[in-house]
Structure 1
């Protein structure tokens, strides 16, 4: 299964390989070179934290406890 590399260094993983590794769009892959110089591709293991979207990851991180009326007064204050 030969494929061509783009000028950006990108290649398409052949369908047989994607199917064998059960890869889906957006999945991460790991590349390694073994002692014989062969490239080995593995489906990357992901942590549960990696699956959080950016809002879930930021939720609950604020250090200041604002009261609603104080926050609204700050946001509505004239410049």
Structure 2
């Protein structure tokens, strides 16, 4: 499969979506570029080390905890169905 894309003035290249999907690439994950010399380079999915995966997991947990604290006042102890039933009751 051969794809064409343009290089930006900042030296960035957009990897086409079908290629990203085929490689399983996601935003923020490492990408390895292997220069073969001359005019050829190979792009492959990079791998995260154990420490980097742990750091990212801890950062995600911190963001989740922060959001939970920010919206703590919205907790009612009701199930979603009960909350929605109360919310949809007609006004007297």
TM-score (norm 2): 0.51
- Which runs of at least 4 in structure 1 moved beyond 3 Å after TM superposition? none
Q: Please provide the CA RMSD for this pair.
A: 2.1
Work out the number of aligned pairs and report it: 55
**Quick one: distance in 1 between partners of 2:8 and 2:38?**
25
Higher relative contact order (CA 8 A, sep 6+): 1
1:4 aligns with 2:1: no
**Structure 1 residues 7 and 42, CA gap change in structure 2 (3 angstroms):** same
What is the TM-score when the length of structure 1 is the normalising length? 0.58
More helix by share: 2
Structure 1 segments unaligned to the other structure (5+ residues): 57-79
Structure 2 unaligned segments of length 5 or more: list them.
60-92
